[in-house]
Structure 1
C-alpha cells in the first residue's frame, strides 16, 4: 500500500478553512435573509386575506348552509358557531375557517356512523374490519355550483364510492321463513343505503333484459324439444333474430351461456315470496321467542333482524312525524295533498341526483345467493370500468335543504352500517 504523508500545517489550514466555510454556510442559511424591501410575512398574509375574503364574499349562503348542516349532524355546537360569529357577527374569517372544518367533519361523521353500527362485534379480526371499512367508505365533498358551470345559491354535497358487491347467501338459509325475513330486511335497508339489489339491477339498469327473456322463451316455446345448443344455432341463422340483430351475438357458445343465464334469471326471487312489511317481521320474531323456536330465534341472523326492525321503526316514525308537521303548518291541506306536498308524497329526505352517466346507488349492489347474480354484477361493473364511468351523486345544499340532507346522510350511514354487520354475520357467523 502506498502512503502519502501530508503536511500537518496544510492539514490544519484546510480544517480551519473547512470549519470556517461550514460556519459561514450555516450562518447564511439560518440567520441571513435577502433584503428585497418588502416583508414576506406581511405580503403572504395580505394574499391569504384577499383569497379568503374572495371565497367568503362569493359563497356567503353556501358557507352558512355548510355550518347549518354541520350543526344538524352534530359536527359543530351552537357555542362554537356563536364564538366564530363574535358579538356583532363581524368575524367573517372565523366563520370561513369554521365552514372549512365542518366540510371535513361531515364526511368523517358519516363513515364513523357506519363503523359504529357494525363494529360492535369486537371479536372480528381487525384485518377484516379494515378491509370492510374501505369497501363501505363514502367519499363526501362539498363543491360550489360554479364547479359545474351552474349559478346556484348554496353548495353541492358530492357523494362517491368505489363499486362494491355485497353477496349474501340468503337463498341457502334452510329455514324458508327465516330466509324470507332476512331477504325482506335486506331489501328495505338497501333503500336507505342508496344501494341497488340484483333484481332492480336487472330490471332497471339493463333495459333489454326483459326483452331478451321474452325472446328466449318465445323461441323455446316454438322448439320445446330442442337443446340450448340447437336453439342458439337457429337464432344465429336468423338474420332478423333478436339476439343477432339487437344484441350482436355471433358465437353459439356465448349465446348458450346467455340462454342459461336467462333461464336462471326467470326464477328471480320466487323462492322468497312476497316482501314482508315491518309488522309481519316483528310478529314472526316475537312468535319465535314465545314458542321457543330456538332454531329460528337463536339463529345468528336474528341479531341483524332485530337491529333492522329498530331502524325500520325509527324510519316509519320519522316519516309520520314529518307528515303531521307538514299538515299542521299547511293552511291548505287539500291543495297540498293534491299537489303532491302532503301524505301522498313523503318529503322527508333529500334526493340524490346523478350528475354523471351512472347514478350513485350503482356503486353498491346487494345480492342474495342466486346463481345468475354474480354474472350480472360482474358484467355491469366491467362495462362501467371499460367506459370509464364512475357512480356519483349530488345534493343541493342550502338553508332549506340542510335539515333534510342531515337526515338523509344519517340514514345512509346507519343503513350501510347494518349491511356491513350483515356481512360480518355472513362470514363469521357472529
Structure 2
C-alpha cells in the first residue's frame, strides 16, 4: 500500500521546494466536507482547498454538469471557437454582480490572472500605469500580482525586484495600530511625495483580506476609496477571489457595502474546484482593451464554465447564502465560548462576516501578542486528530476556517470538537 510518507519522499525528490505544503497528507478521495488519505484515514475539511470548495468536494450536480460537457468537447479555445457555457456564465455573473450596469465579463484560469488582467483593463481604460494596493494583501504569485501583494515573505523574498509603479497603503486593523484615518493620510502622503493621482490607473483591495488574516475593510475606508477614485478618475478593483461566491453570507462581499467597485475579480469557489477565474465590470471600462489584449489558451475552459453554471444553480437550490450565515454563527458562538476557557490556548479577535471566520492565537489571555509557534502546533495537532486547518495573517498566528457551505451540521460539530482538542493540546 502507498503511504503518506512514501508520497512525501517522492514529492520532495521530484517537486520544487518553492511549492510549500501545510500537511504531509496525500488525498485519495473526498466527498463534501470529508477527505480520505491514501492510507484510508478520514479527515474533516475546514480548509476547502483554500476557499475553493464552498459547494464541497464532488458535488453531484457539478460533477454531472462537467461530465455532460466532457461528452461534448473539452476544449476549443474560446478565441478560436466560442461556446455557449462561457457566454451564459458571463450573462449570469453580469446580472449578479453588485455594480451598476451595463456589465461585461471575461474569464481566465487562476486568481492571479484575474487580478493582473483587471489591472491591464484599468490601464487600458485610463491610459495610466500606477496602482495602489494595501499592506497584508494577497493578489497572487505572478510578477505583477506579487508586486500588488502586500507581504514580502514568502511571496517576494529572493525573487528579484518588484515591478515599479505599485504603492502600498497600510491596511487599517487593531493588530497593526492603523486606523482608517491613518490609511487615508498615508494615501495622501503617496499622492504628495511619490505619484500624482493622475498617474494612478487603479486601487485594488480585498473586501476581506485573505492571507492577511481575514480582516474586513472598514465601511468608512471603502466609502473614502470610492470618493478618491471618483475624484481622480481611478478604477476601483475589488479582489473577491477568496471572498466571492457566498463565503461571507453574500454572493459578493462588496454587497456588505453601499458603494460599488468598477471591477470585481473572481476565482476559487466560482467553479467548485475546477480552475476558472474572471473579471466582471462596467462595460465601458471592460471594453477598453483591444481584441487580443485579453484571453488565454485555456481561459474560460468549457468544463470549468459548465461547473460554474452548476455552482450558481446549487447556491440557489440549496440556499447556500443563508447556510453561510448559519455556519458562521455556529462557528463564532463556539469560538467565543472557547475564548473564555482556561483549559485552551488563549485566542483573540474572533471575526469574520458569514462563514469566513478566523481567530488569533496569542501568548497571553486577554492580550494581543501573536504566538506563531503555538499556531503551527495547533495546525499539526488538528490534522493528527483528523481535521484539516489553515493558518494565515501577517504574524502567522491566525487560524481561518473555510469549511464547505454544504457541510452537514454534524460534520461542522465534529471539526470543532477536534479543534478544541488541538487547542487543549
With normalisation by structure 1, the TM-score equals 0.25
User: Which structure is higher in helix share?
Assistant: 1
- Give the structure with the higher percent strand: 2
TM-score where L is the length of structure 2: 0.25
- Larger RCO (CA under 8 A, 6+ residues apart): 1
Bigger CA radius of gyration: 1
